[in-house]
Structure 1
């Protein structure tokens, strides 16, 4: 199995899949390795809001990626739908934030960034979202926020990727470390033997820190467990996304309502718990009282790649020629994926980058263990 590949990508979440897609559409030969099934971790477990939950609380580095991605998502979805017949369902609903402590900062951020965020009267919010709970006193609203149906995005990306020439996908293929020689990274070791490549890209989400540790490097990316639940309601039950006290309700086009999510530091354990189920149900009923009578049709957990300030690592690893990172997106992997993967392709293919790459550079942020 040790044949020369142009680019070996470790990790088959949305970041790995879209990185592979962007490179393969530019004529690169790509082999994508996934330890389980593609998109089954953070990508599958996320809510798919095409915005950070509280965008004004992030650094300009995250904001730059988020804005580019938000503008690009509709055309990415159209392109994937046209190529595969699988619609990722980018659903523009708008988003209400309720009872924020930092509403003033949010509105100042929106004015500064030119984003359509505005304060609305609570009565107007109730008119727009009649099922909203009565316990809230203030609201702000952004009209153009969408959500993407993340499991469908993963399916669509996988199908689009497999339709391209020069793409090999190995699922159930865990990477244990790197092949080194001539002062550079030559490939990766797997249970099926070494797989070699001119470039190796680490896009392994919560597992990225452990893998980089095998080279004696310290990457502060760690698993952060998130649990969520799913209700099924009528298609017109909830018209808009709502967010209060760190919990959100996201309507899908067919009436499924996602409620999320917890933030738990439990290592690599992703067992759904009764405690989280009860907490999420309580949040659901507080946000939307009618959900007290709705059936929970799903409850699951995933592991997010936690990183300092949620700023991803995008670029070449200093001291290890041939090794690249596109990881550490924490809670915003789905939001930031289009921009992160476009920026990554620009860097690897030596093109003019879409945005300034310096805030994401591994240099100075990845240290010897």
Structure 2
């Protein structure tokens, strides 16, 4: 399939080439374009149709206290930034990403004490609440839960609309070109320097190359002899149609979550499967998700199932992304390996990338994300 060009044609030699048009790639392009940089985004399919489209969109790690300080730093910055990002994209694109603040309840956690200690240390508003209070706030909740934690400020973003808003905003910006159905097959090199990419439609040279190819990032970097431990991790979701006021807050129990959208859709997920690049939805997963949904919110047993799908997360050790320049490969940059938190961490990850790339003061300490720490055999 030939590449589809979107936006203005630019002098590619002077541009930053971004490989991957998901939330990370598009937002990286957006931040660079806002700084006056020329950008070309390449995607093997349609922008935003892989993990960014398939996920739930909770603007928090599912269990934030179980992550490293490196993930926490990016998550906190992103959570604070999301409301203004949503408003800006809505104004520029005409598409509302629906950054929807509902709060999140965790039920019957085994590590509740650890969660509360983390919240106190991080000054985050996570509190114990009586289960009777939860039942009053969520009348559709199944009976039998014993304890709950609540964080009131947690939002969810409607991820398909977020990536559509980013793509549309980029189309309107000068110095931006998007090429869909343009698979990157390898890299162009001059000595140790990466100077572009090879695609199914031919070679493209650029000032630098940023790999933000999600679950495909590790495979792509193998062509340079680089071993980045990023692998596909399948996740399946189910979507129900309910009344707009059916579920006023997000809720998580027994490893499964329910997310309300503004229009009454309720998203329930997700599975965690190591099945290579197969993203075929399965009947077994559908049955499991449906059973979990009904156990959490009994009315969903009879609710209309709108859709069931699967996506591939970019799995990585400890969920810490690699962000920054690749040693001994001048011109090559990474922004990948976000595992289950790509949408959560995207604003901070992309701002950090731009800070480093443009020589600005970074928003957070970049050391934990340095590619040298993540590439096997490079330490």
Residues 128 and 32 of structure 1, relative CA distance in 2, 3 Å threshold: same
Of 254, 263, 268, which residue of structure 2 is paired with 1:259?
268
Alignment of structure 1 residues 191-340 onto 2, 5 Å: 191-340=200-349
Aligned to 1:109: 118
Instruction: Give the Cα separation in 2 of the matches to 1:194 and 1:90.
Output: 39
2:20 maps to 11
| Aligned pair partner of 1:163 in 159, 172, 176 | 172
C-alpha distance in 2 between matches for 1:193 and 1:30 = 18
* Residue 103 of structure 2 corresponds to residue 94 of structure 1: yes
CA distance in 2, matches of 1:265, 1:182: 37
Report what 1:53 is aligned to: 62
Equivalent position SS for 2:187? strand
2:358 to 313, 334, 349: 349
Q: Are 1:172 and 2:168 an aligned pair? A: no
Structure 1 residue 3, shift from structure 2 partner: 4.6
TM, length-normalised to structure 1 = 0.99
Q: Is the 8 A contact 2:12 2:40 kept in 1?
A: no
Task: Determine if contact 2:218/2:231 at 8 Å carries over to the other structure.
Answer: yes
CA distance in 1, matches of 2:302, 2:40: 47
- SS of residue matched to 2:14: strand
In the alignment, structure 1 residue 36 sits paired with structure 2 residue 45: yes
User: What whole-Å deviation, never above 9, does each CA across 1:281-339 have from its counterpart, x for those lacking one?
Assistant: 00000110011110111000000000000000000000100000000000000000000
Residue of structure 1 equivalent to 2:190: 181
SS of 1:79's partner is helix
* Aligned partners of 1:5 and 1:31 also within 8 Å: no
Match of 2:30 among 12, 15, 21: 21
Question: Which residue number corresponds to residue 138 of structure 2?
Answer: 129
- Taking the aligned partners of 2:373 and 2:306, their CA distance within structure 1 comes to 45
Once the two structures are TM-superposed, the CA of residue 272 in structure 1 deviates from its matched residue by 0.1
Q: Quick check: 2:229–2:376 contact (8 Å CA) kept in 1?
A: no
8 A contact 2:22–2:163 mirrored in 1 = yes
Structure 2 residue ranges without an equivalent (≥5) = 1-8
Per the alignment, in what secondary structure is the counterpart of residue 293 of structure 2? helix
**What stretches of structure 1 move > 3 A for 4+ residues in a row?**
none
User: Aligned partners of 1:334, 1:142: CA distance in 2, in Å?
Assistant: 19
- The SS at the match of 1:116 is coil
Shift of 1:25: 1.0
The verdict on how the C-alpha distance between 1:368 and 1:184 changes in structure 2, with shifts beyond 3 A counting, is farther
Alignment partners' CA distance in 2, 1:330 and 1:3: 30
Structure 2 counterpart of 1:138: 147
Q: 2:80 aligns with which of 57, 60, 71?
A: 71
Contact 1:42–1:303 (CA<8 Å) still a contact in 2?
A: yes
Could you list the per-position Cα deviations for residues 92-121 of structure 1 after superposition, in whole angstroms to 9, with x for gaps in the alignment? 000000010100000110011000000111
| Deviation of the 1:368 alpha carbon | 4.9
Separation of aligned partners in 1, 2:274 and 2:182 = 26
RMSD (Å) for aligned C-alpha atoms:
1.1
Listed one character per residue, the Cα deviations across residues 324-362 of structure 1 (whole Å, up to 9, x for unaligned) are 000000000000000000000000000000010000000
Partner SS, residue 15 of structure 2: strand
